[in-house]
Amino acid sequence: MPELRQNIILKDWVIISTERAKRPDQFKEDRNIYEDLPRYDETCPFCPSNEKKFGNDNALYTETDDNGNWLIRALPNKFPAVAETSGETRINTEGIFRWMDGIGHHEVLVECPEHHLNLATMDIKTVERVLFAYQKRYKDLTALEEIESVIPFRNHGTRAGASIIHPHSQMIALPIIPRDVMSRMNESIRYYEEHRNCIFCRVLDAELEIMERVVIESQYFVAFIPYAAKSPFHMWIYPRRHNSSFAEARDEELKDLAAVLRGVMHKLYYGLNNPDYNLIVRSAPKGYGHSHFFHWYITIVPRLTRTAGFELGSGMFINTSIPEENAEYLRGIK
């Protein structure tokens, strides 16, 4: 029988459609993951030696090797969602209508020089470099006076919104706290006020006690499929240590996270034939960096299904897979 499961963090409900559920291996993409991509593409704006040709020689941040060749770069987004200007951050009103200047910061993090790699096929040192660069740029953007929240994210594949193959992530910094971020904050505050405990720590303890949905665990992190996963193979990576801000993650934790993240991506890459996915770092906004009630984490959402009318009309998702079976399947991918 189908189940209605509640995400205790956000209080939203998900339908686990057992009657329509597919076996985990039925979600494999119909593609050849071994299809060769070039190491260098002369038409790619992010490949080395193409910087001047595509106007990408004004890097915001760069790491280089001993020979001066870049290893990772942060660039201004050529088509930014928000404008890096000196506009005002005050809210204007006219009747029921409200608006403010669309200021902020939008950048691209080019993760490595090699065009053909991704998080599943990079070596561990490269993944570490990506995470340390994430944190560096996250701190830099959070320190800007007008910024209230920073969202690091990665789109992989066209269904996830990526228009360029070369491995890259993005960061958008905003002068506001988005509603989805504030909802997580508000619900975690309510739980803490009632139970004097972090709801995210409580969820992590429960998952580790049951172990049915855990995919990978390490010294500092646990990757698992949530009990009320909204879609097939939706996954969270939680730090074991309570910490509300990604900016406060320690060096040894980021190195450990690199191994966990690469392990998760390996399993998705080989188990589901390199699916399109979105990756988001969910961290407390500015001013909440040392809170007892929030816990930063990473969300990974493989784009294996589509949002349809019921989801748009109800706000509820129908998951045509069973989280426990998906976790068991991924654990078996070596």
Are 41 and 102 contacting, i.e. CB atoms less than 8 angstroms apart? Answer: no
Q: What does the pLDDT look like over 97-133, one tens digit per residue?
A: 998 888 999 999 999 999 999 999 999 999 999 999 9
- What's residue 85's pLDDT? 67
Give the integer Cα–Cα distance in Å for 313 and 131: 37
- Looking only at the bridges linking them, the beta strands covering 317-319 and 13-16 are parallel
How far apart are the C-alpha atoms of 111 and 126, rounded to whole Å?
8
pLDDT over threshold 70, residue 324:
yes
Q: Three-class SS of residue 110?
A: strand
User: What is the share, in percent, of the chain residues with pLDDT greater than 70?
Assistant: 99
**Average confidence score pLDDT of the chain:** 94
326 contacts: CB under 8 Å, gap ≥ 6: 24, 225, 229, 232, 233
Can you tell me the mean pLDDT for 17-23? 82
How big is the chain, counted in residues? 334
Cα angle 322, 328, 333 (rounded to 5 degrees) comes to: 125
At 34, is the pLDDT very low, low, confident or very high (cuts 50, 70, 90)? low
Kindly state the percentage of the chain with pLDDT values over 90.
Answer: 84
Backbone angles phi, psi at 217, to 5 degrees: -130, 150
β-pairing, 221-224 with 97-99? unpaired
Going along the chain from its start, the domains and CATH numbers come out as 3-331 (3.30.428.10)
At 307 the pLDDT is 87
What would the mean pLDDT of 166-192 be, rounded to a whole number?
Answer: 95
Give the pLDDT of residue 86. Answer: 64
Predicted pLDDT of residue 123: 96
Round to the nearest angstrom and report the end-to-end CA distance of the chain: 32
pLDDT score at 215: 98
Tokens of 309: 């009318």
Question: When comparing pLDDT for 137 and 288, which is higher?
Answer: 137
Q: What does the pLDDT average to over 159-177?
A: 95
pLDDT of 277 higher than 70: yes
Q: What is the mean pLDDT of residues 83-108?
A: 86
pLDDT at site 287: 87
Burial of 94 (0-12, 13-18, 19+ CB in 10 A): exposed
Residue 36 is predicted with a pLDDT of: 82
Mean pLDDT of 313-327: 94
**Which amino acid is it at 60?**
L
> Is residue 200 scored above 90 in pLDDT?
yes
Cα separation, 293 vs 199, whole angstroms? 7
pLDDT band at 143 (very low <50, low <70, confident <90, very high): very high
Name beta bridge partners: 236.
Answer: 224, 299
Task: State the pLDDT confidence band at 90, using cuts at 50, 70 and 90.
Answer: confident
The pLDDT value recorded for residue 83 is 85
